[in-house]
Structure formats: structure tokens, C-alpha cells
Structure 1
Amino acid sequence: MLTGRRHLMHRLRQCGGLSGFLCKKESLYDPFGAGHSSTSISAVQGMYVANRLQKKEEGLYVAVIGDGGLTGGMAYEALNACGFLRSPILIMLNDNQQVSLPTGTNSAGGTAPASAVSRHMRRLLKSRSSPSISQQQQQQQQQQQQQDVAAVQAPGQGEQGVAAFFGGLGFDYVGPVDGHDVLTLVSILQQIKREGLSRPTVLHLKTEKGFGYPPALAAPDRMHGVEAAPHLALHAGSSSSSSSSSKGLHAAAVRPADAAAAAWAAEKEKDQQQQQQQQKQQQKQQQNQQQQQQEKVALSPTAAAAAAAAAAPGAAGAATATAAAGGGGGGSGQQQRVSLTSIFSRGLLQLAAADTSLVCITAAMPGGTGLALVGSLLPQQLYDVGIAEQHAATFAAGLAAAAAKPFCCIYSSFLQRAYDQIIHDVAIQNLPVSCVSLLVNVGFIVDRAGLVGADGSTHQGAFDLSFLSNVPNFTVMAPSDEYELLRMLKTVYLLNSGPSALRFPRSSCFGLETLNSKLGHNLKELPLEAEPLPIGKGRIILRANPNAKYKVALLSIGTLLLDAVNAAAILQQITSLPQPEQAAAAAAAAEAAAAAAEAAAAAEAAAATATAARRAAGTAVAPSAAATAPTAAAAAAAATVAKGDPLIGVTVADARFLRPLDADLLLQLAANHDVLLLLEEGAAGGFGSKALQHWSVYADAAARKCRVRTSNPKP
């Protein structure tokens, strides 16, 4: 709203509207695009160096990063570089004790992502002694100008607390400051801008996520991203910040020199209320667990009983046993209209309850990946490493090297960050296990694969099929529905020959009726566990009528299978195609129109009038008798329809695996059909490209007669 986009807010996170993230093409106030975490310091460092080399006008270079962003290793790489080069940039650290999704999920490390640094900072803030504040206040009384400077610089000159932590890296430190006290914060920023920076500086802000917006405060796990709304019910303050906020409303009466002391007094007041905040956090955790149990009831009474038993005091072991022995649960198709992520999380819980060597890993996204359910029942088998996908991948490789069964669950767009580790630490390693040379067995669960809608370009899962299909030793699979997801989950669990990737989109389940009537299954209910699949083998859902004149095959991977089945029904209803004479007449008309347009344009240039006339006369060609004559193929097609056989027969197949590709199925479809269309939800270079490559190399004469196309856009 402050950057000229207020009039576009009604189109927030919609097609053609605002992206919801930093976007260079949206506003000149967005100098760098961003949708992922931990990138701001590196980007600002690059901008500073580039402008210095080009001798451009110096300004104030500011990077904003959260304490959650400081769980990412890239942020520390940037801190290291900035401190070494002494780049005069300002880093505004937004400290709200949260990551991209709320902390509070139980895991092996507690209820927060793995961040020893954040924990260290919290301890240091509590241990800061009051004499240092008194010394600052005495210095501030000497002279008004010196007071203003001291308010900004003096805290960074200490050798204790958070200042010492950043000071060791070569940074000055200012804070902590109440980030909701806007006027005081503006005064500090104006002072920094006026005086300038001689070295990199951290401005530490304490905030509360969702402050001022009651729906976000009530449900932080549901309000991570905000969409367009007709109205916003604002809120004067919160229990933890109302006192300091009221001071901020009258900050004009507060001298800038008193900013640090006032902010520290507010911080001490917050510390006194910490116990109340912890109780509030526990209540939110209990509400989340109750919601998870309610979702579980919709799927399986057995699983719900296990969750209830686990939630009871002292019943963790009994819950594990119950979940391990639980039979197939299910419900009606309507009840199963939950997300694929929910199906995955319940299936994974069944496996984890029966196998203590199964370890789940998330990069600060336990809720989004479905691992919060595992954490609520089996916290010692869940590791939240923070926003550190690179560490997550190599951590998983180390687990596998010691014979554990790691399931590394990362969004498709975030898995891109761990590509080097996937190749170097996971895929190409041969580890001696039980005197047999085996590959590292790591299961990568790629959630939010494919298109994710309002999350925008930075979060689309369009590239995982492309970059994973080229990694050696990987098995890559994509389920077409919830039952296939359970089967592939069991396949990944039992796979000991190498790393694997199971990718599925952000979508809802189809339900039993659709599974049975359209997707080739015969289920009475959706089980909690399913049988594994043979590696590299697809399946045929629908076979073309052998008497059809034209045969078309649709081979899809992932949840586009249902779209392929629906498309087949439409194709098979076609009873006639455009006749050759109609096509020829249309082509002739198009040529004539093009010739007329060319002639009109050429007539405007006197020097080219004669040439234009000849061109117009030469291109307006009437259709020839040969072109308009009905062909033998058209006559045969008409005869086929006349005797009751369908004109078009369609075969629909589910590839299931991208790597290894079901080559037999691919070549069989090509040999027995006139057209083969390859369907996927991803960028060029994935399933369609790999299938085309295999067809072009290994197809025999019969298969080469087939016209093969992909659904990918051009690269």
C-alpha cells in the first residue's frame, strides 16, 4: 500500500494481480524479486558492490530478514562476506520467534526449528545487565548531538550479549527495538540515514507475527499468507505489545536519543510476561492437535483411536503400538475429500509407528508437509532443521549411511535449493552396508509439485520432474490419486536400491466413487497402508475400441490422469472430422485474405505498386480440383461411422514412474496408435522430454508411424 499498489490490492494473489511477494516488474520499490527465505543479505551486498564499482550515487542499502531466515545457511554465508568486506549495509532483523509457518510442532529438538543461534540470542537478551543501559544513559546526558549518536551506536560497542555475537562477525549492533513502535523506529532509521554507516550494522527488531490483525493472531498456521479481503477488522494491540505500542503513539515526545533505553524497558516488560505467552502457545498447540485428530476421524476411526491414545498422558508407547497394528480405515467418498498431503501424513504415521528407524525431516514446514501429525505422536522421529534444505538433504544422507530410513519432506520449489546435495551427497554415493555396496537410500517427498495457484511464480512446482530426472540412481514417481499415493509411499519405504522421489501436488483427493468409476480401482474403502508397486511399471486405465478408425493414446504422469479420462470421453463422442474439401477451401480463403492485406500495405508505397499487384494476383489461388476431391481415407472414415463403429478410440494410461520409464508401455502405445499425447504438470525437460527421447532412439518402424506430442510449453 505504501509503494503505489493500494489500488491493486483487490487482485492480490490472483491471476493478473499482485504476486504477494517482492516482484521487480510490479514496482520500482521492489529492487529484487523474492519468494524464498534467507536471500536478502546476499542480494543487498551485490547491489552495494555493483553501484560502488559503477561509481553510482551512494545510498542506504537495507536488507530485511527474519529470525526464521537466520536458520538458513545462506544467510550466514552472506553475513560472513559482508563482515569480511566491511560493506556498509543495514540488516533489519525481524525477530518474532517464528519461521515461515508457526513454530510449536513437536519434534526431536522441541517445539521450534533447529536454530541454536536463535536460542543463543534469546538467552543473551535475557542476560543483558542493566548497568550497560545506565552507562548509555549517562553518556546521553552530556550533549544533545552526542545523545542522538549514542542512541544508535553505543549498544553496538558492548562486548556482551547479542552485540558481541554480531560484533565478532564485524557488525555493529542496534537494539533490541520494538518493531511495532513505528515513530521511534522511524526516528532511529532517520538517524542512521543522516549519519551514514561505516560498517555493516544489524538493527534488531522485536515483533509479534500477525500483530494488529485478529484472524492472524488467532490462527497463525492458517494466516501465513493473506489474500484479498473486502474488509479488515483491525486491532489496537496485543497482550504482549500493547504497552510499548501505546508509547509509540506518542513517540513525538520522545527524543531519538532515548530510543534504545525506551525499547529496552519495553523488552524487559515483555520478558515479565513470557510465562503468559508460553501458556498461550501451549493452548494453540492443543487446538492444532485437536484439529488434526478431527481430520483423522474423517479418514479412519482406527487412526483416530491411535491419536486419542497417544494424546492421553503416558500413552505414547500404547499409541505407537495401536497405530502399528491398525487396520484399514476409511469412509465415504465425501469424507475422503481431504488433501493429498493429509493422506500422505497418515500413511507415513503408520510406517513410522511400526519402524523406529524411520526418520522424518522437514525444513521449517511441518504443517505444510503433513509432518505435524508425526510430530504430535512420535516427536523423536521428526527433525525440523529450519530453513536449511541443503543441510536437510545431507543430514538425510548421513542417516541413510547409518542404516536409518530418512523421509526428507520438502516443497518442490524449495527442493531446488538442495540440488547440489541431492547429487553429491545422496545420488552418487556408494556406501558399504552389510558388506554389500548399496546406494544411499533416501526418500524425498516432494510436496506442492506442479501448479500451486495463488502462491505465484516463485512457488510453482514446475521443475522437479526436470531436474530430478537427470540425477543418477534416482527413482522418480508421481501418483495419479490418493490410493496410488499410498502405494508409492510403501514403495519408497521398501526401496533399498537407491534414492527416490515421490512428488504430488497441492490438491484434494478424488474420493472413492471417482477412484472406482474413472481411475481403474476397485476399493470399498481407502486403506491406511497399501501394497507396493513394481518399480518402473505403468498401467492402462482405458483401452481404445479396436474397431475405431483413428486411435489416440493419452499417457499421463501424476494427477492429470483424471483429466485424461475426461478428455477421452469427449474425443470418443466425435462422429465426424472436417472433410478435405472443407479444409482446402478454408486454406484458400486464408491465403486470399493474406494476399489482400499484403496488397493494401504495398499500395501505400508508390515504388512497389507494380510488385504488390503481381504478388496479390499470384497468391490469390483458387483451390485445385485435386485438393477438393474427397480422399479414400475420408470415404473410409465415413463408412466406419455409418456402420456404427466409433471414429476415434482412446487409450488412457498412467505412467506412474518417470525414472525408470516404462519403455515397454511407451513403445506399445506408439505402435498401436496413430497419435500419442504425453501429459504432465511441469516444465519442458521432464516426463514428456524423456519419453520423446526414448521413443526417438528405440522405436521400431511401427512405433515411428505414430505422431507423438507433449503437453509442455516450448522451452
Structure 2
Amino acid sequence: MEERSFPGRRRPIWGHDSRSAVPRPSARTASEPGRRKTLTAASNTPLLDTIRTPADLRRLPESQLQQVAQEVRQETIDAVSVTGGHLGAGLGVVELTVALHHVFETPRDILIWDVGHQCYPHKILTGRRDRIRTLRQPGGLSGFTKREESPYDPFGAAHSSTSISAALGFAVGRDLKGADNNVVAVIGDGSMSAGMAYEAMNNAGALGSRMIVVLNDNDMSIAPPTGAMSAYLARLVSTRTFLTLRDIGKGIVRHLPKFVEVGAKRAEEFARGMVMGGTLFEELGFYYVGPIDGHNLDHLLPVLKNVRDAQKGPILVHVVTQKGKGYAPAEEAADKYHGVNKFDVVTGKQAKPKANAPSYTRVFGESLIAEGRKDDRVVGITAAMPNGTGLDLFAEAFPKRVFDVGIAEQHAVTFAAGLAAEGYKPFCAIYSTFLQRGYDQVVHDVAIQRLPVRFPIDRAGLVGADGPTHAGAYDLAFLGCLPHFVIMAAADEAELVHMVATAAAIDDGPSAFRYPRGEGVGVEMPAEGVPLEIGRGRILREGSTVAILSLGTRLKAALEAAETLDGFGLSTTVADARFMKPLDRDLLRRLAREHAVLVTVEEGSIGGFGSHVLQALAEEGLLDGGLKVRPMMLPDSFLDHDSPERMYAAAGLDAPGIVTRVFEALGRDTAGVEAMRRA
């Protein structure tokens, strides 16, 4: 719902009123993001300062928990202002986080957070407050839940809609062992739009294992809370007595004559839907409780205690929260400050360095608009990421030709296939890491049928602070093995413009083009996109000894490496493959026959571009004449979060790394190169 402002009324920066206000944090130097907060008698978080683990929280009386929540909210805002990261979702679950850790005996009781970007308050309360200002920093805390990080993170999560499936696994495992601990999954922030959540609920309802799902409804409420009456009903229906009566009632209905049974069931469903809004969840086998105001601890605590103590099967507790709660800039922002850069706590203004070049995402969005003006069959599809993919720009120009399907990548791919079969030109824009979730549909519904679906793949390569869960490392490998695909990778923002035009022109099969997060390299932009010749690369500089064949934006590092190699007397050619599939075999033959060393460079995993080059060279018999081939790709490991530049350097995919690989191929001493890297 749109937030309205009224003339003459100034809203406090820390919330709507004194009840939701958060004390303004004390001044703190942001130059030491990893240092531990100094605790003094003047600290404005006196209760939080006494909490190291949830066991400390459970020793506090309930009357003090609201103040704890206010202090946790303050600490979350202050920490993220230093590090950047996900803010709005965490602010919305502060009271819920406090209540869960107070009521349940974590970590013995399993608590699983869906997606994980709601987990900053959870980290503060579970022994990680002294490192909270290292969030997403090199060597610091992950921005998501992570098993290796804490026993309070029993299951890692950075993609959505996995929590109920994982929780069911924990619950069934507990039952098999004969244990009696609780298992709680917190899902929300859009995650209920994915089919996996309902698949898990259907299975959980059939198995009947005791578990609790907390639905954090922070956007469009399934049913709005209605104050005291809603809270009273939720508390009532979560009691053991009422749950038992519901079981007895269902048992009686099963023994009634068929026509009476049907009528009774319909009456019961109608009444339950009118009062609680939970018919869907009950049909899946869950006891539904709610909706409850997720910011009111007087409502939350008794309900959580009731469901904790209920010896029943799966229970769903519907909690309604406000994303960005308690911080006015977040509440008023369109995305509720979902993801932010470092920001000024008082004003909410984010620190955004001046761009030297347009972002790849914007270039894609604007290029697609240009293609959309030429052809009204061009449509855009996104899986809950219109801003992140640049389709929000296309939507402004062509609002009826963009479809946001929610967090449902599988559906997005097959939906695009249907549009292609109907004669449209769908651009199914999905981050590399999320396209993995729709892989079966890419194979079965697109590739086998050779339908011309276009896949703009944003966030290709390493993504920095989001770490291994969001790295776009695998799309070249998992798409490259599929017949009929045309696969491109943009070396710079100008090339991306041409690749959008190329994809729009391909009408006899699927295509994909990948590009990284962040800004372009600052090249001159073309007036319009021109379709490239399919399967043709380009040579940017000529040499005679070393050939570097790059795919994607490592081209800049390749050109820098060539300059260094020339300085060592190694004449170097640099080529941009442009296409991984089909490969430019003419270019490949020339590079292989005219050079002593051939190095391929890509921002992808083993099994991608370099593997295709080696296969082609073997088929052509070009590996038999002494040619030294060295494929360079991301290491066969998951890389922790850091800046992209440092990550690529660690992977050896920067200019010094390329030079080192050439020296190794030629048997030359690499000490000078290492000295250059350190300098």
C-alpha cells in the first residue's frame, strides 16, 4: 500500500509515534566496521548489552522484551548503516525474532529462516553482535544464515522458499531418533509465491510430523489482523483444548452420512475462512492460527507458547508485519530499503559512489526498450526482480508487456516458452544464480522444443558481498551442454547493446547472453544495437607468441595482461570470443596455429567456455602440434564474500594472474609477476 504524507505534519525519523519509535543511536566512527562495540554505563542499549545468547534473553521477564526489541532494531539500523546490506526485512521481524528466541529453546529447538536476509536481528541475539559490523565484509559475517558460522544457523539459506522443506527434514529426522525438540520455519518476504513452499506443505500435511511454520506476511496480507478480536481468536484457536476439539470434530464428521459430512465440512470451512482466513493451509494439512500483529509481543508470546506446547502435527502461525518497521526512511521507501548501501542513519541517505559508466542492468533495460519500439512482440518476464533486472525500465515504457511472476523461476521459464510458441519474443530476465532453479524447464520446455526464448542473465560471474549463494558461476556450464542454444557474453556495455539486438533477431531457437553486476567499463556507446553475426568473435590486438581468448568482461584484464607480456618480450594477441556457442572455429584455428600459447579466460566454472574450446581443439587435431593451452576459469570451490576485484584476484583472473599462467606455460620464473601483483 502506498504511504501517504500530509501537509503540515512532520513525521519522526524513527517511527510513527512513541510506541514504535526507536531511540536514536549514539555517534559511532564508521571507519572501523569490524571492531567490537564498546559497552559503557552510558550505553543506549542497556538490556541488549546483557544478552550474549538466547539463554540470556530467556532469563528476562516478558515486560522487558519490548525494550529489547527496540534496542535490537536500533543496533540493526546502526550496523547496516556501516556495512550496507539487507535492512527492511530484518526490521520487520525484530519483535518476532525476540519472541521466538524467548519462547523456544534455541539451538536445541531448530529455527530456520527462509531466504536468510531477515536474519540480522537473529545474528545479534545469537552471539554475533560483536561482529555484526563485519556483515558482508571480507572475512566477516555472511549476509545470510550459514551453518559454518553458528550452531544457531542449523540450515543455510540465501535463495527463497526452502525453509519448510528443510524444517520437515529436521522434524522427520527428530521423529526417527525419538527426540522431542521443536522445529520452526519462518517463511515470508515473498517466499510463499514459490511452488516449492506448497510442495513442502503438502508433504508435511500428509506426514503429520510436529512442526511449526511462521508465515511472515509483510506485504499483501492474506487476511488483515483486526486488533484485539483477531489476537483473542488466534490465542484461542492455538490452545491445546481447541486443537483437540477440532480433531474431535473432524473425527465425528468422518462418521456422518455422506451428504451430512459434505455439508458439515463446507460449513466448517466457510466458518474457518470467515474467522481465520486459513482454509488453504488447513486443506494442506496444517492447523492454521492467525493472523497476529507481528509487532505486538502481547499477542505473539502467548500464541507461540501455545503452539510450542501443542502435541499436534504441522501448525501454521500467520504473522503480519511491516517491512522496514520502526525506521521512517525504510517505511517510506518503495522497496522498504530491501537492500541498501552504507547510509546516514539520521537522514536515511545512502552513499552511492558516482558512476563512471552506466550499469549493465540499465544498459540492458534501455536496449530492450529500443527493441520493443521496433517490434511489439518483444515482452519481458521477471521472477520478482523487476528493478534488479532492469525490466522496471521496460515496464515504464510498455506496462502491458512486462510480467512479474513472483519468486517462481520454473513457471517463468515455461510461461516464456508458451509465449514463444504463440509467436512472441520473450526476454526471460533472471539472475544467473536464480536461473538454476528453473533448469529442468530450460531443458524440457525450451531447448528440446527449440523455442526462441531469450535469457538475459544478470549477475554473471562473482557478485561480491552476496557471496557463493549468489555467484553467477554455473550458467555457461549448464546451458552450454544443451543443443540448439546460442550463448553470448558481453565484454563491455557496448557489446551488451548489440547482444540484446542479436537475441531479438534469433527466431529459430533459444539464446542467452550474460553480463555482470555493476558498472560498465566506460566505452563509447553505439547509437543503436546491431545484430552480431552468430558464432563470430573479434580480434582486438595482434601478436605472434601468446594468444588470449576471452569470453565476457575479463577482456579488460586480458588487454592489461597483454601490455605486460609485451613488456617481457612476449608478443600477444587478444581476442573476444563473444559467443561460447557456437564457437568461432575459424578464429580458434588461427589462434592455435599462429601462437605458442593459447589462454582462455572466463568468469565461469569448470565445464564452461574453456571446456568447449578444448573439445573443439581436440576435434580439429590442434592439440597435437605442441600448442600449450591453459584454460582459466573460476576455481572448483565456493568463494566467500569479498569485493569482486579481490575475488577475481584470488581466483587468478586478473591481469597478473593471466601473466602468471602464461609464464608457467612457458616455464618462466613468475617471481617478477608476483612482485608486480603486490605493487
TM-score range, shorter chain: 0.5 to 0.7
1:94 aligns with 2:216: yes
Is the Cα–Cα contact under 8 Å of residues 230 and 292 in structure 2 kept in the other structure? no
Match of 1:179? 294
Other structure's SS at 2:430 match: strand
1:474 maps to which of 485, 493, 496: 485
Q: Secondary structure at the match of 1:572?
A: helix
> CA offset at residue 218 of structure 1?
3.8
Matched residue, 1:417: 437
Corresponding position of 1:54: 177
Contact 1:555 1:679 in 2 (8 A): yes
- Describe the SS at the equivalent of 2:272: coil
Q: How does 1:398-547 map to 2 (within 5 A)?
A: 398-429=418-449, 439-511=450-522, 515=523, 526-544=525-543, 546=544
- Counterpart of 1:6, as a letter, is R
**What SS is found at the alignment partner of 2:187?**
strand
2:324 corresponds to which of 206, 210, 219: 210
Contact 2:383 2:430 in 1 (8 A): yes
What is the CA-CA distance between 1:59 and the residue it aligns to? Answer: 1.2
1:172-212 alpha-carbon deviations (Å, 9 max, x no partner)? 1111111112353233222322x234121111111111112
Matches within 5 A, 1:55-454: 55=178, 57-66=179-188, 68-97=190-219, 121-122=222-223, 125=224, 149=240, 158-161=271-274, 162-193=277-308, 195-221=309-335, 223-225=337-339, 337-429=357-449, 439-454=450-465
Distance verdict in 2 for CA 1:154–1:232, change over 3 Å: farther
Determine the C-alpha separation between the residues in 1 that align with 2:299 and 2:585: 67
Q: Which residue of 2 aligns with 1:665?
A: 587
Aligned partner of 1:571 in structure 2 is 565
Provide the alpha-carbon RMSD of the alignment.
Answer: 3.0
Deviation at 1:567, TM superposition (A): 1.1
348-357 vs 405-414, greater mean Cα deviation: 348-357
Contact 2:231–2:292 (Cα < 8 Å) also in 1: no
Larger radius of gyration: 1
**Residue of structure 2 equivalent to 1:688:** 610
What is the alpha-carbon distance in structure 1 between the residues aligned to residue 147 and residue 561 of structure 2?
A: 39
**In structure 1, what is the equivalent of residue 113 of structure 2?**
none
SS in 2 for 1:541: strand
The 1:665–1:50 alpha-carbon spacing in structure 2 relative to 1, beyond 3 Å, is same
The 8 Å contact of residues 346 and 373 in structure 1, kept in 2 or not, is answered as: yes
8 Å contact kept, 1:67–1:93: no
1 CA distance for matches of 2:193 and 2:439? Answer: 19
Cα deviation, 1:639-676, whole Å, max 9, x if unaligned, reads xxxxxxxx210100000011111122122111111111
Give the unaligned 5+ runs of structure 2.
1-123, 248-267, 637-679
| Matched AA of 1:352 | G
Aligned to 1:16: 139
Q: In structure 1, which of residues 535, 558, 563 is the aligned counterpart of residue 552 of structure 2? A: 558
In structure 1, how many angstroms separate the alpha carbons of the residues matched to 2:379 and 2:456? 13
> Measured at CA, do residues 150 and 207 of structure 1 come closer, stay the same or move farther in structure 2, by a change above 3 Å?
farther
Distance in 2, matches of 1:658 and 1:49, equals 45
Which one of 652, 660, 669 corresponds to residue 574 of structure 2? 652
What is the CA–CA distance in structure 2 between the aligned matches of 1:222 and 1:192, rounded to whole Å? 30
Q: Within 5 A, what are the aligned runs for 1:562-601? A: 562-574=556-568
Cα gap change, 1:655 to 1:338, in 2 (>3 Å): same
Q: Kindly provide the CA deviation profile for residues 560-579 of structure 1, in whole angstroms up to 9, marking residues without a partner as x.
A: 111111111111112xxxxx
SS at 2:494 equivalent: helix
**Structure 2 residue aligned with 1:36:** 159
Q: State the shift of 1:469 in Å.
A: 0.4
- Give the deviation of 1:12 after TM superposition: 0.5
Contact 1:155 1:174 in 2 (8 A): no
Percent of aligned positions with the same letter in both sequences? 46
CA contact (8 A) 1:341 1:506 kept: yes
Distance 1:490 1:147 in 2: 57
Inter-partner Cα distance in structure 2 for 1:685 and 1:182: 52
> Match of 1:558, as an amino acid?
G
- Once residues 714 and 377 of structure 1 are traced to their aligned partners in structure 2, the CA distance between those partners, rounded to angstroms, is 41
| TM-score of the aligned structures, taking structure 1 as reference length | 0.64
Find the aligned partners of 1:410 and 1:153 in 2 and give their Cα distance. 46
- Using the alignment, how far apart are the partners of 1:527 and 1:226 within structure 2? 32
Residue 353 of structure 1: CA displacement? Answer: 2.6
How many residues were matched structurally? 486
**Partner of 1:107 in structure 2?**
none
C-alpha deviations, 1:269-328, integer Å up to 9, x for none? xxxxxxxxxxxxxxxxxxxxxxxxxx9xxxxxxxxxxxxxxxxxxxxxxxxxxxxxxxxx
* Residues in 1 aligned to 2:238 and 2:191: alpha-carbon distance in whole angstroms: 33
Instruction: Specify the SS of the correspondent of 1:356.
Output: coil
> Is the 1:339–1:508 contact (alpha carbons within 8 Å) kept by the matching residues of 2?
yes
Structure 1 residues 345 and 713, CA gap change in structure 2 (3 angstroms): closer
Larger deviation, residues 74-83 vs 211-220: 211-220
Distance in 2 (alpha carbons) for counterparts of 1:183 and 1:174: 16
Please show how residues 601-612 of structure 1 align to structure 2 within 5 Å.
none
Distance 1:8 1:565 in 2: 40
| CA distance in 1: counterparts of 2:500 and 2:431, whole angstroms | 16
TM-score by length of 2: 0.67
Task: Determine if contact 1:153/1:172 at 8 Å carries over to the other structure.
Answer: no
Q: Which residue of 2 aligns with 1:325?
A: none
Runs (5+) with no aligned partner, structure 1: 99-117, 141-145, 236-294, 296-333, 430-438, 516-522, 575-646
Of 450-459 and 176-185, the range deviating more from structure 2: 176-185
Runs of 4+ in 1 over 6 A off after TM superposition: 132-135, 150-157
Q: In structure 1, what is the Cα distance between the partners aligned to 2:478 and 2:375?
A: 31
Secondary structure of the structure 2 residue equivalent to 1:533: coil
Following the alignment from structure 1 to structure 2, what is the Cα–Cα distance between the partners of residues 504 and 133?
49
